[in-house]
Each structure stands twice: as C-alpha cells, then as structure tokens.
C-alpha cells in the first residue's frame, strides 16, 4: 500500500517568483500594483471619480447630473484585489 505524498513546501524564492508571475498576468489585464510584500500584493483596477468635475456639472445642470454622479460612484471607480501565495505555492486571488 502506497502512502500519498504530501505537497512540498516552496522555498522563499519560488514563492516570490510565483507572486511576480501572477502580478505580471494581472498587469496584462489592466490592473496595477498598489502595494506588495514578499508573498502578497494589493492590485487596483480603474480610477477614482473626479468629484470636483461632477460637483461642477451637478451645479451647472441644476442637480440633474447628480444622478450620473451617483451611478459613477456606485458602479465605477477603483476595484481592489489581493494576490497571495501560500507556503505550498498555491495562488489565491481575491477580488
């Protein structure tokens, strides 16, 4: 009877290389790195709304543009994700 082999833990360098590869894949999809440690990175997609511009447009249109502004804040803006590499080299991406 053969025992099943336990997964091998990855070295620090292997984990860092896996994180760098995962980050590169996300950058190709339009994400950017906000912060990074040895085994984790926070990634961001999109941009913050220009609230000053929306305020001016809302005032000029006597409040009508406020509907668009609310929609931009609710559905647009920045989206964040976290990439983590565990000690076995498994990649976990949370969005």
Q: How do the domains of the chain map onto residue ranges?
A: 12-88
Contact 79, 93 (CB under 8 A): no
Q: CA of 18: how far to CAs of 5, 10, 12, 36, 49, in Å?
A: 22, 10, 10, 13, 33
Mean pLDDT taken over the chain: 92
Please tell me what DSSP assigns to residue 35. Answer: E
**Tens of pLDDT along 81-91?**
999 999 999 99
Average pLDDT over every residue of 54-59: 96
This prediction's pTM: 0.76
């Amino acid at each position: 009877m053969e025992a099943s082999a336990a997964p091998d833990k990855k070295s620090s360098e292997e984990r860092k290389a896996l994180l760098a590869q995962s980050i590169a894949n996300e950058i190709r999809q339009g994400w950017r790195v906000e912060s990074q440690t040895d085994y984790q990175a926070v990634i961001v997609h999109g941009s913050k709304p220009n609230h000053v511009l929306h305020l001016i447009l809302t005032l000029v249109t006597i409040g009508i543009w406020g509907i668009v502004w609310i929609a931009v804040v609710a559905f647009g803006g920045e989206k964040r994700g976290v990439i983590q590499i565990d000690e076995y080299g498994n990649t976990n991406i949370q969005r």
